[in-house]
Chain A
Amino acid sequence: MASAVRQQTSSSESVPTRDELLIRARDWESLLLEGPVTYFPIRHHSPACSLHLERWIDEVRPETIIVEGPRSYDKWIASLLSEECAGPVAILATYRESDELMATRHSAFFPLCDYSPEWVAIRQGKSIGARLRFADMEFADKVRFQQHARAEEAQPGTTLGLLLGDESHLRYSQFINELVRRMGCRDFDELWDHLFESRAGEMTTGEFVGTLATYCDLSRASHEPEQLESDATHGREAIMAEVIQGELKRLKGKGRKGSILVVTGGFHTVALPFLVNAKQAAIPAELPELDPNLTGSWLIRYSYDQLDALAGYRSGMPNPGFYDALWQAGREFTSIAEKRSAIARLITTIARQTRGQTIAHEASVSDSIAAVQMLQQLAALRNHAIPTRNDLLDAVTSCMSKESSAGNDLLASIVKRVLAGDRIGSIPSSAGQPPIIDDFHRQATRFRLPVDTIERRKTSLELYRKPEHRPVSFFLHQLELLEVSYATCVDGPDFINGHQLGKLYEEWSVGWTPSAEARLAELGALGETVAGAATQRVVQLVNLFEEQGTSRNADAAVDLLIRVCRCGLHSYARQIVEVVREHIAEDGTFVSVASGLSRLELLRNAREPLEATRLVELPDLITQCYRRATHLMDGLANVPDDLVDGSLDGLLSIREMLASQNGEVSKENDRLRLDEDLYCDSLERLISNSATPARSEIAGAAAGLLHNLGRIGEDRVCEIVERCLDAAVLEVDRVCGVLRGLMKVAREVFWNMDHLLQRIDKLFLQWEESRFNNALPHMRLAFSELSPKEVDLVAGRVAGLHEVDSIGVLTHPDVTEEEMQLIVRATELLNRSLEEDGLK
């Protein structure tokens, strides 16, 4: 059976034996470290690499240090060396494909934490006075190169938040997979910790470099050259080699051993010596000249939780808080005891955090003791001088979870949070941030909003009572409009959709995140201030919806106007007002104009929170919109079926507006004066004898509204209803519509006008049975406007017409209390079971 296992894993033949590995490691050691150029392989964010690198720089004292990273990042070296600069930070690279506002954008982070080998090399290099350089392809070029190479494939659109220093080559290779399996590890990260992090102190730097290079080399062998060509790996390495060659020339042959130190990801390290020593340097593909305005790079603050979120899938090591604790505990290989206790401290932190949570099992002190004990024994069993991340995870799993593994999500999330760490970096003020970030900081500090903690906080704003809260609300709405993940409105009036307008407060959940800052840096292209960027964004939105064919839509334009007011961009609103004006003038549908009108009115009424009084054009705009709406009412005679409901709503909302205008007691000059006659004349035209609307709903509604406004009498209403009901139209729904329209706007006529009921009754009696039956469903729809009590009322009156005293038992008062209780309970049970099945 054992032979079967071997057969099955024949792919493993590519893995050399232990002795062969040792020989190869020695070969690599001398190849990489003996010459004037030393090539130091690293894994991004590996403390073990950093420790060896630090030591190497101290010993060999290179004159020049070259670090993997786009060449233009040389300008950030001074900032990275500043005292004020503390990890984690990231260099954000942005690239727009064109100068247009809606251009495809790309961005990438180059994260650095205190223990990142790249940063350690820069800092240590500075302390010995070495020349420091970056060497890699520019981000924009990498994007363009990959697009060029993969021209025939589907192009990914916007790519935001990629990582520079991608290690997927190392992570996903056949060799690594086989090694992971053989060593009984769960994944590449465990393998890495097992081979390098836990034993860094047991190896000389030479052995460390040799071993790491050997693994990288074997891993590289399982990648196809075509793949490395098309993903720009070769192109990037050519640039690195070019920089190294340039530095070699500077030495003019006077270099000693280790004059130049090259710090790159191990995957590249094993290729570089051959490229540098080759007679003819590889030349990366020619790319067209790039407008420097389209690219940018910024040094920004970063956080461990963000690093953690991106780690594991492409780059870097998971649980940065763990490695940070190790790094902070001591920079010597001998500080094993300190590191052990740092890890033990992580365990007690996890245990503390389980307490007071709704977790199945709160970890006691004895659990912590057991876990620390287990940690040490596991490390001993696995031959780890310093316990690894997985040792810690195993110890916590074993000693603190008391359920089957499914029930441990909360514990897992606590562990993840503790091991992610909560450190947030800082950058020197001289590094200069995009001005928009400065503006953000200035405003957030002024409003006493958090700018350096990722804990989310609740902020409540009193929109009506406290005028000083309004700018805060505007600011947060601007950020929301800009899709900056800083603040979320959890509760409050929604003026855009017209919900919860009675709320006096706005509740926000606010929390700074590095990605918010990154997003702001990206938005720097839109403007220098948050408000400026928000305005630009509105302009983008306007352009966008004109392109998308939502043009000439008054409602959508008003939507934009409200949005702008919510963001407090009143000074910029003038442009939007013009846009709205245009849209109102050109919009040909009554429904959207009417809806726009009612929302303009909403905006006007919500003076405090939206500070609509600052919008002097508003009354004028409302008047224009009203006129346009009344003008468009003529078209309602032939409104298409799907717009009937919207039209009825529109008619009713204008009626309500007129009513409230008359009842308004505000200051005379502020008062809106809409000409009621315009509305009534249009309605009159709709019911005029010569133009009976095709949809009788509109006629019914018009009659009801006019009666309501006191413009027509009972007879006229009856006449219109009769005319519609008696029409020689085959479709009964068109006939019954008149009742529906009437009930929608003025249902009281059905019990106030005896005459009306009589005439309808008479008409129905003349109908054939089948026609009446066909009409029933439409009638039911019409009557759904009435409440049960009103239906009862109307039914009683109709019965009276036929001299029937009783219309039968509609209610059953003889239900006993027990029966009632039973029904209530049954309903409850049914509801609950529906809810449980997710059917509610």
Chain B
Amino acid sequence: MAKKKIASGKSDLASSSSDILRSPAELLYADELNALQASDTFARPPGWHLSPRAVRTFVLGSEAAPLGENSPEITRKFYGNDALVDRSIVTLIGNRGLMLIGEPGTAKSMLSELLAAAVSGGSELTIQGTAGTTEDQIKYSWNYALLLSEGPTRRSLVPAPLFRGLSEGRVVRFEEITRCPAEIQDTLISVLSDKVLHIPEFEGADAVLHAKPGFNIIATANTRDRGVHEMSAALRRRFNFETVTPISDPEFELELVLKQAGALLHQCGAEARLDRDVVRVLVDAFHELRNGRTKEGGVVEKPSSVLSTAEAVSVVMSAGIDAAHFGDGTVSGVHLARQLTGAVLKDDEGDVKKVRQYFEVVVKARASTDTNWKDFYTARDQL
């Protein structure tokens, strides 16, 4: 059945990929998932579409362990912390949920999407946590016309992601869980500990929905908003916590930014040329501002706004669009610096000052020896 699912996903991709603004992981990497499934000889936990090792290969790439002669190379999709991926996969096998926490933009959601796609063959069972999330949106709600005519029946029940995850034995993603009020978060307690969902409206055996094997939850929370300590202890102990940190190696980050920004630009039809050394300036600047240290070891004031890899991608992408539509198609330091304003510097006066100071001290010093830094510096007035 799983095979069929992915195969059908593939045909969807063939017919309609150009209509989808952003394809979910299971469509984007359908070939890789198929190849992995075909070559997967290891035991699969009940309800899983792939063995844990194949899931690992899907996320971390096949460089360390190539699949075989005719199989495509599996690309590395998550950088920086392989052990964390191992732990996350193992957590999903067990009876605890997986909680990914970290600064915004550290690819927590991407990791959860990849894991859900690999483990359950699809990542669409997603609950978006907001201040207004209700239990209906998590568990189930009713089609009121049918409810009135038929009463509470399976037909009149409208399943929400958690209901589906339990009944189909799949991984459910809960994004930004700490944005929800604590009482809504606590809905998950009984589901995580007893693996059942009570539906009091039904009678008899139907009143309890037992989870099928393969069900689990991946929650994400970012440390900038309300922290995890506001989560109830009862819920906390039902999760294993993994902290996702920003990528520490600037070269890796550069690779990632180039790759993702390139793909996004291609998607929106803006053909811009991204020069590695030009983008390196931005990645280095992000790195230094984020860590509060320059490459040479000098101290830099850290801005309060988020300077994640994702933000760097968005700056490069905007710069690419700028260059493609209003310039000659080559992204320069000027384009990058110009885009910093909207993407990074939101409404914090202090941040603007800090970044300006960074330009005056660090960027200026480098501008004299490096043309890319010089271009970056010339656009400082637009900050």
Contacts and interface: CB of A to CB of B under 8 A. Distances in A.
B102 A404 contact: yes
A377 B52 contact: yes
Nearest to B51: A381
Given A370-B96, A404-B223, A186 B90 contact: no
Contacts of A104: none
Given A374-B94, A390-B83, A399-B240, A381 B223 contact: no
Interface in B52-105: 52-53, 56, 60, 63-64, 73, 75-76, 82-83, 86-87, 89-91, 93-96, 101-102
Contacts of B56: 381
Contact of A8 (B93, B241, B251): B251
B378 interface: no
Given A2-B75, A183-B64, A364-B237, A398 B242 contact: yes
Interface in A772-825: none
Nearest to B103: A404
A715 to B, nearest CB: 67
A15 B239 CA distance: 40
Given A1-B258, A373-B94, A394-B86, A402 B251 contact: no
A378 B87 contact: yes
Interface string A1-13: 1101100100000
Q: Which of B87, B93, B223, B228 has the most CB of A within 10 A?
A: B87
A374 B258 CA distance: 36
A445 interface: no
A402 B236 contact: yes
Contacts of A182: 63-64
Contacts of A397: 87
B134 interface: no
Contacts of A364: 237
A184 B96 contact: no
A13 to B, nearest CB: 15
B295 interface: no
Nearest to A383: B53
A4 B243 CA distance: 29
A401 interface: yes
Contacts of B75: 1-2
B293 interface: no
A41 B328 CA distance: 61
A838 B95 CA distance: 46
A367 B236 CA distance: 11
B243 to A, nearest CB: 4
Interface string A183-200: 111100000000000000
Contact of A366 (B52, B53, B237): B237
Contact of B243 (A361, A367, A382, A404): A404
Interface in A374-404: 374, 377-378, 380-382, 390, 394-395, 397-399, 401-404
Interface residues on B, range: 35 or more
A405 interface: yes
B236 A382 contact: no
B178 to A, nearest CB: 11
Contacts of A367: 237
Nearest to B88: A398
A401 B243 CA distance: 10
Nearest to B52: A381
B255 interface: yes
Contacts of A5: 76, 255
B241 A184 contact: no
A360 to B, nearest CB: 8
B245 interface: yes
Contacts of B83: 186, 390, 394
Nearest to A373: B94
Interface string B297-326: 000000000000000000000000000000
B229 interface: yes
Interface in B169-204: none
B204 to A, nearest CB: 32
A405 B90 contact: no
Interface string A274-318: 000000000000000000000000000000000000000000000
A183 to B, nearest CB: 6
B259 interface: yes
Contact of B255 (A4, A360, A399, A405): A4
Q: Which of B86, B94, B95, B236 has the most CB of A within 10 A?
A: B86
A657 B87 CA distance: 74
Interface in B232-290: 236-237, 239-243, 245, 251, 255, 258-259, 262
A401 B94 contact: no
B309 to A, nearest CB: 15
A370 B75 CA distance: 31
Contacts of B89: 381
Contact of A402 (B53, B64, B241): B241
Given A1-B258, A184-B82, A394-B83, 20 more contacts: A2-B75, A5-B76, A8-B251, A182-B63, A184-B60, A185-B82, A360-B229, A361-B237, A364-B237, A370-B240, A377-B52, A377-B94, A378-B86, A378-B90, A381-B53, A381-B86, A382-B86, A394-B87, A402-B237, A404-B243
Interface of A: 1-2, 4-5, 8, 182-186, 360-361, 364, 366-367, 370, 373-374, 377-378, 380-382, 390, 394-395, 397-399, 401-405
5 contacts: A1-B75, A2-B75, A4-B258, A402-B241, A404-B228
